[in-house]
Amino acid sequence: MKSKLFSILALLIIKLCLGQVGLNTQNPQGIFHVDSGKNNNDSGVPTPDQQGDDFTVLKSGDVGIGTTDPSARLHIVSTSGSALRIVDGSQGENQILASNSEGYASWISSTAARKTISGTIPASSAILSSNSFVYLNANIILPPGNWLVMLGTTLVKASEAPSVSWIHFALSNSATSFSNTADIDLARSGRQMASASAPSGSKYSFAKGVLCVRNSGTVDKAYYVWARRSDGDVVINGILSSSVEERYLYAIPVN
């Protein structure tokens, strides 16, 4: 037993003198090399598959995980798709890793990690024939965060009546009864997302606008599109419906 311990100690001293230590390998590729799978050859450079379970430190101080030839202070190679996991309490879905001026990193929320959201617009739409708000069968579902909601649609009058009317669009959290959503950021936008005139003597017009919405909750929230005319006796057909050539409803994330 003593002779075995002496032999192991002697080998370790020799390795240290040579400047290389290998665990589970007789062929270390750096000053410290762990072959956790014990699957490397006794000579030559391990294959990429063999390096997959290796940990290597070079004389330069570079550390390789999954590679025996790191080219940075920390070089990770993984074929599993999950090469790095940092759990510090700030992690979350769609967070990105950012550093401060001293190089300390943490997870933060960023618009770069969030996608544009498309709304649901109808094949057919309600008809505006009174001064009361009408639900347009259109809605958009927004995750938590700040959003610019954008709407545009052709307005088609039922006739070329010589009458002028203003058409107003707004968002509500209900599809059955209208009230302006409380999530509008009034420091950035007004209460209504779009307004347009239905001019006298013309059958067509176009409405477009933007509304800043802040979903300060923790879950996705639905916002429903309503519209009304403010004056006049104009009848508007096909708002946001497939019968018009131009229509859109989407939201882009903002900080």
Mean pLDDT across 100-106: 90
Q: CA 8 to CA 60: how far, in whole Å?
A: 27
Q: What is the pLDDT of residues 39-67, one digit of tens each?
A: 999 999 999 999 999 999 999 999 999 99
The confidence band for 232, taking pLDDT boundaries of 50, 70 and 90, is low
The confidence band for 157, taking pLDDT boundaries of 50, 70 and 90, is confident
The confidence band for 182, taking pLDDT boundaries of 50, 70 and 90, is very high
- Residue 231's identity, in one-letter code, is D
Average pLDDT, the chain: 86
State percent of the chain over pLDDT 90: 50
Q: CA 98 to CA 86: how far, in whole Å?
A: 12
Coil, strand, or helix at residue 43?
Answer: coil
- When mean pLDDT is compared across 7-11, 134-138, 214-218, 220-224, the lowest value belongs to 7-11
Model pTM? 0.63
- Separation in Å, CA 64 to CA 31, 57, 103, 167, 228: 12, 6, 21, 64, 64
Mean pLDDT across 55-84: 94
Q: Which residue has the higher pLDDT, 53 or 162?
A: 53
Q: CA 144 to CA 218: how far, in whole Å?
A: 6
Q: Would you state the pLDDT for residue 168?
A: 87
Q: Is residue 87 over pLDDT 70? A: yes
Most confident stretch, 18-27, 47-56, 100-109, 119-128:
47-56
Q: CA 22 to CA 163: how far, in whole Å?
A: 89
Q: Would you state the pLDDT for residue 163?
A: 65
Q: Is residue 89 over pLDDT 80? A: yes
Q: CA 156 to CA 244: how far, in whole Å?
A: 8
Q: Is residue 239 over pLDDT 90? A: no
> What are the structural domains, with CATH classification, of the chain?
17-81 (no CATH), 85-110 (no CATH), 117-254 (2.60.120.40)
The confidence band for 212, taking pLDDT boundaries of 50, 70 and 90, is very high
Query: Count of alpha carbons within 13 Å of 213, Cβ hemisphere only?
Result: 33
Q: Which among 229, 213, 232 has a CA at the least distance from the CA of 133?
A: 229
Q: Which residue has the higher pLDDT, 220 or 7?
A: 220
Q: CA 222 to CA 211: how far, in whole Å?
A: 15
